[in-house]
Amino acid sequence: TYVIKADSIKAHVKSTMYGIFFEDINMAADGGVYAELVKNRSFEFIPNLMGWTELNKSGEGNVEVINRAKERPENPHFITVNVKSGQYGLANEGFRGMGIKKGETYSFSVLARQHTGSKATLAVELKNAKGVVIGRGELKPDATDWKRYSVKFTAAATEEKGSLTLWAKNTGAIDLDMVSLFPEHTWKNRPGGLRADLVQKLADLKPGFLRFPGGCIVEGRELANRYQWKKSIGDIDKRENIINRWNMEFKHRLTTDYYQTFGLGFMEYFLTAEDIGAEPLPILNCGMACQFNTGQLAPMDELDPYLQDALDLIEFANGSSDTKWGKLRISLGHAKPFNLKLMGVGNEQWGEQYIERWKVFEKAIKAKYPYMKLVSSVGPDPDGEKFTFLNTTFRGLNADILDEHYYRSPQWFLDNVKRYDNYDRKGPKIFAGEYAAQSVAIASPDNKNNWQCAMSEAAFMTGLERNADVVNMASYAPLFAHVDGWQWTPDLIWFNNLGSYATPNYYVQQLYSLNKGTDVVPLTLNQAAVTGQDGAFASAVLDANTNELVIKFINTAKAAASVNFVVKGKKINSAGTITTLQNGDLAAVNSFSNMNAVSPKKQGIAVVSNNIKTVLKPYSFNVIRVKM
Ligand code: AHR
């Protein structure tokens, strides 16, 4: 018998619970949520024709890569296609192919310039994997100055691994840059926007916050390739491409073609956060490159540009038209401030070097924007020396929010459900910023998003919920992974070029988020919190918005659990609902061929004299809601 004291509020659940961690890892941005289909559209990847193949058909010609670094340092390369006779072509392979949908309208655009005296035209062909044309358009770029040209056409067939061919026809020479292909239908139908199906999955989480842009890419392997938000806004042809920190050979998986084009930049992140009702949480580089790689440091007397980026970002997000950066935001189409209140200083940094840089940021940001709450990293290892040092130091410095990361075994998650029970209630708040149960070992390519991992996360999260006065934010990581281009597993959402599926872990996050309630109330067994007795983990909240009691109960045992929840202090209705996420096989996973192997099922549940008596399945996560 479990007792719930519905009239005894223990803590308030913050609106920021539960959120999203977004990083451009596993092709999450380029080749993923950013709907651009052309890979290396501005010829900045190395080699410059990566993703492109030259096609010579009934004629002679060639392609030259031109570097105009002096004139356009942020977008130095373009190509000249010379057609000596007939036509000369180039094919683009897309990001592991191009996902094309029958009946969808595609918008092709290019920056082009004719050489004097030439009259080259451009034919565009969309092809399926067998080379059959499934969409076509034609352009006649006539100007000898750079100009954007575009054409729309409808695809005649669906194809996961399509490609795009350009034919330059008529004798002459034509310069091309920013070769682009987008579906018309994007998230909110914004031209050149985001994949609607993938953003919808984020919206369906009803997240409390959106953390961006990472992760290690904030830091870069070296400082030159850190994420710089100012280079990620405005005209897309002026956003300087860099190599992605996750461009790598990972245990024989090749993603050595991974670059950041910043089509998904800070403006798009802020807009997405606003669209899905999440608080924006940008993480900024604090003068430290990834300490797992070069660990380069900006000298203390050269920290200014890093700090200025942080200060200017707050002005960009919140400033009025009287401010330089506020004016820029308004000119980009967003008059209303984004109401930024949270910012992370550094990602997974450690050591004295972090502390001294953090102090500079903290002092300057708080002096100018006292309302800002700063997120500080306490390192990648929740039990190690780095964590102890940072945790103690930041507590001494009265830091606002500490960002803890844990990629551990399912058993660790079960064993650590009481992790926050004894945290200092008056100290910094906790952001469980990156966590995921690893079925094999951290970053093993054999890790699976299986039910055992998801269930252990659900059990652990009862501890986050019970400690809502300390734990204010939490996010699973990483978020997205392309089935043909990932570096890290497990991940919350898997996608290909045409669609996506939610993992059991996604449904756990979603059930928590949709049922986060507003106030924690005690749920006990023999007057103790339910933290693993007979494999049971449980917590309860009230939802003041709907006037409901919400119970979460995870049965990690292989036998069914006969339970009786006795609700005291408030009268509850005679019927409610129970949503169950369950599978008898701990190894069960969702996949493209079986998307709902582990997915929530909802049904009614009876209440007799304020008692909810039921039998909960083995290996199950249950959410009961009853009106009061
Ligand atoms: O989520 C993958 C990586 O794990 C993140 O980039 C980093 O912060 C952590 O080490």
At 171, list the tokens: 């004798």
In DSSP notation, 60-89 reads -EEEEEEE-TTT-TTS-EEEEEEESSSEEE
Phi, psi (5° rounding) for residue 40? 60, 50
208 or 248, higher pLDDT: 208
Ligand 1 atom nearest 405 alpha carbon: 9
| Range 52-183 has CATH code 2.60.120.260 | yes
Determine the pLDDT at residue 373. 98
- Tell me the β-bridge partners of 519: 12, 542
Domain ranges of the chain: 2-12+520-627, 52-183
Nearest CA to ligand 1 atom 2: 478
Does 117 score more than 90 pLDDT? no
C-alpha of residue 215 to centroid of ligand 1, in Å: 5
DSSP annotation of 101: -
ipTM of the complex: 0.99
Amino acid at 535: G
C-alpha of residue 214 to centroid of ligand 1, in Å: 7
C-alpha of residue 399 to centroid of ligand 1, in Å: 22
At 47, list the tokens: 């080699």
End-to-end CA distance of the chain: 20
Alpha carbon separation from 94 to 9, 29, 36, 332 (Å, rounded): 54, 14, 9, 28
C-alpha of residue 216 to centroid of ligand 1, in Å: 6
Does 214 score more than 70 pLDDT? yes
Phi, psi (5° rounding) for residue 462? -60, -30
What would the mean pLDDT of 324-347 be, rounded to a whole number? 98
**Cβ proximity of 468 and 522 under 8 Å:** no
Evaluate if pTM is beyond 0.90: yes
Provide the percentage of residues in the chain whose pLDDT is more than 90.
95
Ligand 1 atom nearest 488 alpha carbon: 2
Ligand 1 atom nearest 348 alpha carbon: 8
**Cβ proximity of 471 and 435 under 8 Å:** no
DSSP annotation of 603: E
Ligand 1 touching residue 404 (CB < 6 A): no
**Cβ proximity of 28 and 526 under 8 Å:** no
For this structure, is 348 an active site residue?
yes
What would the mean pLDDT of 300-322 be, rounded to a whole number? 98
Mean pLDDT lowest for which of 82-86, 328-332, 372-376?
A: 82-86
Nearest CA to ligand 1 atom 6: 215
Does 122 score more than 90 pLDDT? yes
| Maximum Cα interatomic distance, the chain, rounded to a whole number of Å | 90
- Give me the residue label for tokens 């990620």: 232
C-alpha of residue 437 to centroid of ligand 1, in Å: 14
Ligand 1 atom nearest 347 alpha carbon: 8
Test site for ligand 1: of 405, 408, 438, most ligand atoms within 8 A of the Cβ: 405
Nearest CA to ligand 1 atom 4: 215
Say how far apart CA 507 and CA 530 lie, in whole Å.
22
What would the mean pLDDT of 121-126 be, rounded to a whole number? 96
Contact residues for 314 (Cβ-Cβ < 8 A; gap 6+): 340, 343, 365, 368, 369, 372
Pairing of strands 209-212, 20-21: parallel
**Average confidence score pLDDT of the chain:** 97
Output b/e per residue, 588-610; b: 16+ Cβ within 10 A: bbbeeeeeebbbbeeeebebeeb
Q: Which is the catalytic residue, given 44, 93, 268, 348?
A: 348
C-alpha of residue 383 to centroid of ligand 1, in Å: 17
Ligand 1 atom nearest 380 alpha carbon: 10
What would the mean pLDDT of 117-129 be, rounded to a whole number? 93
Ligand 1 touching residue 325 (CB < 6 A): no
What would the mean pLDDT of 163-172 be, rounded to a whole number? 94
Test site for ligand 1: of 348, 447, 487, most ligand atoms within 8 A of the Cβ: 348
Ligand 1 atom nearest 21 alpha carbon: 1
Say how far apart CA 489 and CA 481 lie, in whole Å.
8
Determine the pLDDT at residue 110. 98
Q: Helix (H, G, I), strand (E, B), or coil: what is residue 478?
A: coil
Determine the pLDDT at residue 381. 86
Determine the pLDDT at residue 228. 98
Say how far apart CA 605 and CA 579 lie, in whole Å.
10
H/E segment holding residue 407: strand 401-408
Nearest CA to ligand 1 atom 9: 215
Say how far apart CA 75 and CA 178 lie, in whole Å.
10
**Cβ proximity of 171 and 121 under 8 Å:** no
Nearest CA to ligand 1 atom 7: 215
Ligand 1 touching residue 477 (CB < 6 A): yes
Ligand 1 touching residue 504 (CB < 6 A): no
C-alpha of residue 217 to centroid of ligand 1, in Å: 9
Ligand 1 atom nearest 217 alpha carbon: 6
Ligand 1 touching residue 207 (CB < 6 A): no
C-alpha of residue 349 to centroid of ligand 1, in Å: 11
In DSSP notation, 30-67 reads BTTTB----TTTTS-SSSTTTTEEEEEESS-EEEEEEE
Determine the pLDDT at residue 443. 86
**CATH, range 2-12+520-627:** 2.60.40.1180
Test site for ligand 1: of 20, 24, 216, most ligand atoms within 8 A of the Cβ: 216
**Cβ proximity of 491 and 481 under 8 Å:** yes
C-alpha of residue 388 to centroid of ligand 1, in Å: 19
Test site for ligand 1: of 20, 21, 23, most ligand atoms within 8 A of the Cβ: 23
C-alpha of residue 330 to centroid of ligand 1, in Å: 33
Sign of CA dihedral 589, 594, 599, 605: negative
Residue 43's Cα: distance from chain center in Å? 26
Say how far apart CA 272 and CA 198 lie, in whole Å.
12
Ligand 1 touching residue 25 (CB < 6 A): yes
Determine the pLDDT at residue 395. 98
Determine the pLDDT at residue 473. 98
Say how far apart CA 478 and CA 484 lie, in whole Å.
16
Determine the pLDDT at residue 249. 82
CB atoms within 10 A of CB 224: 11
Contact residues for 249 (Cβ-Cβ < 8 A; gap 6+): 255, 256
**Cβ proximity of 437 and 458 under 8 Å:** no
Ligand 1 touching residue 347 (CB < 6 A): yes
Say how far apart CA 306 and CA 296 lie, in whole Å.
14
Determine the pLDDT at residue 380. 86
Nearest CA to ligand 1 atom 5: 215
Q: Helix (H, G, I), strand (E, B), or coil: what is residue 582?
A: strand
Angle separating helix axes 196-203 and 266-275, nearest 10 degrees = 50
C-alpha of residue 74 to centroid of ligand 1, in Å: 28
Ligand 1 touching residue 434 (CB < 6 A): yes
Determine the pLDDT at residue 171. 86
Test site for ligand 1: of 20, 22, 24, 25, most ligand atoms within 8 A of the Cβ: 25
Ligand 1 touching residue 490 (CB < 6 A): no
Q: Which residue from 524, 413, 378, 593 is spatially nearest to 2, judged by alpha carbons?
A: 524
Does 142 score more than 70 pLDDT? yes
DSSP annotation of 599: -
